[in-house]
Amino acid sequence: MSSGGLAAKRLLISKISSNIFNQGYNPSNTRSGRKILNKKPSSISIGSYYPPDELYESSKFKHFRDKFKDMKFQPVDFEEIDRLQKVDALRRRGKGAPKKETEKRHGKKK
């Protein structure tokens, strides 16, 4: 067997494996930007995707509810109701957050 036949088979196998594993086929072994392009985007580009904190905070339900304070119509925050029910259920089972200390006890610790 000649080495030319083995080299051709090696190229064919690398081409097939690059198709199977979704990698780039580069028989001449030249440099390409594939490594950089396949990287996850940096935090700088991702950070500009999200809105600023002020805009995010103003879009919350409590700010929406404040606009209807003087009206008969009061919007219902179902997520808040669910959260309060969950906290209540945890507290009944003894799994809730501990009670805050009173000032008398807090003063004794110092």
Q: How far from 42 is each of 45, 50, 52, 53, CA to CA, in Å?
A: 6, 14, 18, 20
pLDDT-based confidence at 71, cuts 50/70/90?
confident
Q: Structure tokens of 79?
A: 């997520």
Q: Compute the distance between CA of residue 43 and CA of residue 60 in angstroms, rounded to an integer.
A: 25
What DSSP character marks residue 63?
Answer: H
Q: What's the confidence (pLDDT) of residue 85?
A: 95
Q: What's the confidence (pLDDT) of residue 110?
A: 52
Q: Compute the distance between CA of residue 98 and CA of residue 81 in angstroms, rounded to an integer.
A: 21
Q: What's the confidence (pLDDT) of residue 24?
A: 81
Q: Compute the distance between CA of residue 40 and CA of residue 60 in angstroms, rounded to an integer.
A: 30
Output 78 or 4, whichever has higher pLDDT.
78
Please report where in the chains the tokens 């199977």 appear, as a residue.
Answer: 20
Instruction: Look at the pTM and tell me if it is higher than 0.85.
Output: no
Evaluate whether 27 touches 11 at the Cβ level (below 8 Å): yes
Q: How far from 29 is each of 47, 53, 90, 100, CA to CA, in Å?
A: 35, 47, 61, 66
